[in-house]
Amino acid sequence: MARGLRRVLAAFALALALFAPVRLVLAAEESPAGTGELVVATKEAPPFSFKDEHGNWSGISIDLWRRVAEKLKLQYHLVDAGSVSNQIEGVASGNYDVAVAAITVTPAREQKVDFSVPYFHAGTGVAVQPDRMATWMPVIRSLASYSFLQAALGLLGLTLFVGILMWLFERSANEWFGGGPTRGVCSGVLWSANTMTQRTTEGAAPTTLPGRIVAILWMVISIVAIAVFTAGITSALTTKRLHGVVNAVADLSTVRVGTVEGTETENALSRLRVRYRKIPSTTQGFEALRDGTIDAFAYDRPILAWMIRQGSLSAELTDVTFDPQNYAIALRSDAALRKQINVELLKAEQSDWWKDTLFRYLGQQ
């Protein structure tokens, strides 16, 4: 009996010895880092991630990751990677398990790492200096623009056409339009311009029936043409004068643009064929804007809005937004927790906690 019991215990001990490596392998597969603690890379990118004076991390992305980690009971520690490119490369090489900050999903990054479901949707914004928004430079650019020249040439062409018609109808019956083609056409154009501006020229009244019909029609048409031309130009110049150098994406090609180097905004500006200056950081970007070395600073819109509001910077965010972006959490391609993280992210986005978080950092729902 004792011998049989010893055999049973020996067999049980052998089974435990054989099963222990299997448990270690399974535990390693459950944790992307192969340990019980995840290495989470982040960087300074307010309002998504930033440190306070005590070195504690917070922000939209950080708070969201903490909630997900708490729900999944994950152990982790945060590491400052310095830049988004370092985060992506670190996750791809296995140095980091997760990357959390203002990370946007792009095809190039998707080839290196996996991404969670997007948790924030925004775009690229444009900041400008308020004291330069009301200068006369935009007005001068408008007067020299192709659209203004096109409208002016169209109006002059119409005036010339009516002057030639008047000369053809009146050259034999009215001395004002006589005296050869050159003199007659010039007199017709002068009459046409005077009529358009509601001025009268003595002796230039048409005497033939066709000439009088042309004169009546031109009086009506010229009033409408001048009104439309004046209203259009006044509206364009007033908009430029009040709202500044950047009112649409197309305006970026006419000003000096700066953006943070190594970011997706560079690719967006290149696709729009907008020339830009590379700037090391957002802080230096606002300094360049203040010093006047650039006219517009393009970068992630929520980050620009946060820095302007929190830093009391002398800059304004325009209504221009381009290149829609999705923010997500970067994960290793073999991350076993990806589905669980996605589920918790979707739950968080549908909660009141998420609305309160966005309101706390961005002042909006």
CATH number, domain containing residue 254:
3.40.190.10
Among the candidates 217, 243, 269, a domain finishes at 243
Last residue of a domain, one of 205, 220, 243: 243
Q: Is residue 69 part of a domain?
A: yes
Residue 160: the pLDDT is: 87
Widest pairwise Cα distance in the chain: 143
Q: Residue 35 and residue 363: Cα distance in Å, rounded? A: 39
Q: Are residues 291 and 303 in the same domain?
A: yes
Statement to judge: residues 103 and 188 lie in one domain? no
* One domain for residues 332 and 353: yes
Say how far apart CA 260 and CA 283 lie, in whole Å: 10
Same domain for 234 and 250, yes or no, is no
Q: In DSSP terms, which residues pair with 321 in a beta bridge?
A: 125
**How far is C-alpha 56 from the chain's CA centre?**
30
b/e for 185-222, b at 16 or more Cβ within 10 A?
A: bebbbbbbbebbeeeeeeebebeeeebeebbeebeeeb
Question: How far is Cα 176 from Cα 200, in angstroms, rounded to an integer?
Answer: 13
Collapsed DSSP state (helix, strand, coil) of residue 263: coil
Residue 335: count of CB within 10 angstroms of its CB: 22
Same domain assignment for residues 166 and 115 = no
Same domain, 156 and 216: yes
Q: Looking at the structure, do residues 232 and 147 belong to the same domain, yes or no?
A: yes
State whether 159 and 234 are in the same domain. yes
Q: Which of 51, 113, 111, 125 is nearest to 82 (CA)?
A: 51
Strand partners, 75: 37
Assigned domain for 99 exists: yes
Give me the sheet containing 276-279, strands edge to edge: 276-279, 257-260, 296-300, 120-128, 316-327
Q: Is residue 24 part of a domain?
A: no
CATH of the domain at 186: 1.10.287.70
Q: Are 278 and 261 in contact (CB under 8 A)?
A: yes
Domain that holds residue 94: 31-119+328-362
Residue pair 159/192 in contact by the 8 Å Cβ criterion: yes
Contact 285, 259 (CB under 8 A): yes
Alpha helices, DSSP H only, in 244-277? 264-271
* Ranges in the chain, pLDDT < 70: 1-35, 131-148, 200-203, 232-245, 312, 364-365
Query: What's the number of domains the chain is made of?
Result: 3
| pLDDT, tens only, 92-134 | 999 999 999 999 998 999 999 999 999 999 999 999 987 654 4
Its pTM stands at: 0.58
Is residue 16 situated within a structural domain?
Answer: no
Domain shared by 347 and 321, yes or no: no
154 is a domain residue: yes
**Domain end position, chosen among 212, 243, 274:** 243
